[in-house]
Amino acid sequence: MNCTLTQQEKLRDLRDERKLTIAELSEQTVIPASTLQRFESDEDYRVGYQDVRDLAKFYGVSTDYLFGLTDNRMPYNTKVSELRLSDSAIEMLRGGKINTRLLSELITHADFSNC
């Protein structure tokens, strides 16, 4: 099961979160609307690194997120010990035995209890 968003989906979601049209985004980023449309289309279009940098800065996310190197919008340099996880939990997460995307959705859900 692939839960990773494509670059196109990430860009579309970020724009939708701000309730912007392509034209409005173009005005605010000075990236041509036709270029932005290609970025969000399903065709295999390569986004230039300057545009990724500008969009990352505009949306307040990391370029690694937009390039698909991470699913985290911003880099976190938290020590594992600060997360207060058990050794077995750390090994399960490291070993890929848990769908971390699903776990993230679960623990950030509004109905999840912080006991």
pLDDT in tens, 14-71: 999 999 999 999 999 999 999 999 889 877 677 788 999 999 999 999 999 988 888 8
**The domain defined by 7-67 carries CATH number 3.40.50.300:** no
Q: Tell me the domain boundaries of the chain.
A: 7-67, 78-115
d(CA 75, CA 65): 9
pLDDT at 2: 52
Measured CA angle at 39 (ends 5, 41), to 5 deg = 75
pTM of the model: 0.67
**CB contact set of 39 (below 8 Å; sequence gap of 6+):** 7, 8, 11, 45, 47, 51
pLDDT at 79 over 80: yes
pLDDT at 23: 97
pLDDT in tens, 5-16: 888 899 999 999
